[in-house]
């Protein structure tokens, strides 16, 4: 369960509790709709006296209290969940880079362009090597060719990272914030290969 889903669940649970204590049906009452005297049937040939969209009347017996803030424990828990999310994303991005699935940025200056070409830090796809173009640099993929793309290896690492992240999330939710913080620190220190 990700952070957004957890926050939505907390919000809707809190809102349900607030509304169930203020709705008359929940208090054992059977409210009847309040008739609106301004609501009239339109008769052809007669001029309307009121705007047909201003016919809503509010029942004053229903009172909705403003929502309350989350407690300090929930705020700390949300902070830990955010830290876990950031750490998980960092591990996934590092795995993508290690397995050759992320390209380097294009060179921004003429000197960096020459340096990258001389160092051999680029790849040209086989089907584009002899293709003519107005800008042949469009066919250059800027990455180290010594790092081969390994999608299967990345998928294995991503599965392991996500499983470990789920375990840390369970620790945060079930065991509390102190245990969750320790689990996040252990998760950040762990290497996935």
- DSSP 8-class letter at 10: H
Q: Is residue 21 part of a domain?
A: yes
Query: Within the chain, which residues score under 50 in pLDDT?
Result: none
Q: Is residue 154 part of a domain?
A: no
pTM of the full structure: 0.55
Could you give the residue ranges of the DSSP H alpha helices within 67-137?
Answer: 72-98, 110-119
Q: Is residue 25 part of a domain?
A: yes
Q: Is residue 110 part of a domain?
A: no
What is the pLDDT, as a whole number, of residue 137? 87
Q: Is residue 75 part of a domain?
A: no
Q: Is residue 118 part of a domain?
A: no
Mapping DSSP to helix (H, G, I), strand (E, B) and coil, where does residue 1 land?
A: coil
Q: Is residue 168 part of a domain?
A: no
94/10 Cα distance (integer angstroms) = 32
What is the pLDDT, as a whole number, of residue 75? 83
Total domains, the chain: 1
What is the pLDDT, as a whole number, of residue 85? 93
What is the pLDDT, as a whole number, of residue 52? 55
Partners of 135 in the beta sheet? Answer: none
What is the pLDDT, as a whole number, of residue 185? 95
Q: Is residue 19 part of a domain?
A: yes
Domain that holds residue 6: 1-68
What is the pLDDT, as a whole number, of residue 176? 87
Q: What share of the chain is helix, strand, coil (3-state, %, to 5)?
A: 55, 0, 45
């Amino acid at each position: 369960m990700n952070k957004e889903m957890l926050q939505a669940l907390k919000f809707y649970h809190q809102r349900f509790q607030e509304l169930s204590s203020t709705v008359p049906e929940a208090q054992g009452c059977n409210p009847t709709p309040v008739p609106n005297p301004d609501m009239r049937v339109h008769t052809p040939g007669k001029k309307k006296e009121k705007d047909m969209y201003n016919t809503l009347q509010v029942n004053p017996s229903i009172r909705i209290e403003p929502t309350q803030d989350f407690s300090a424990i929930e705020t700390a828990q949300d902070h830990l969940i955010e830290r876990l999310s950031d750490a998980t994303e960092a591990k996934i991005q590092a795995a993508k880079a290690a397995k050759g699935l992320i390209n380097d940025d294009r060179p921004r200056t003429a000197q960096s362009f020459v340096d990258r070409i001389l160092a051999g830090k680029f790849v040209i796809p086989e089907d584009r090597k002899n293709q003519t173009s107005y800008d042949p640099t469009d066919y250059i993929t800027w990455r180290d060719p010594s790092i081969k793309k390994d999608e299967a290896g990345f998928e294995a690492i991503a599965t392991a990272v996500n499983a470990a992240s789920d375990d840390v999330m369970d620790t945060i939710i079930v065991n509390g914030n102190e245990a969750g913080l320790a689990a996040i620190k252990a998760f950040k220190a762990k290497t996935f290969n």
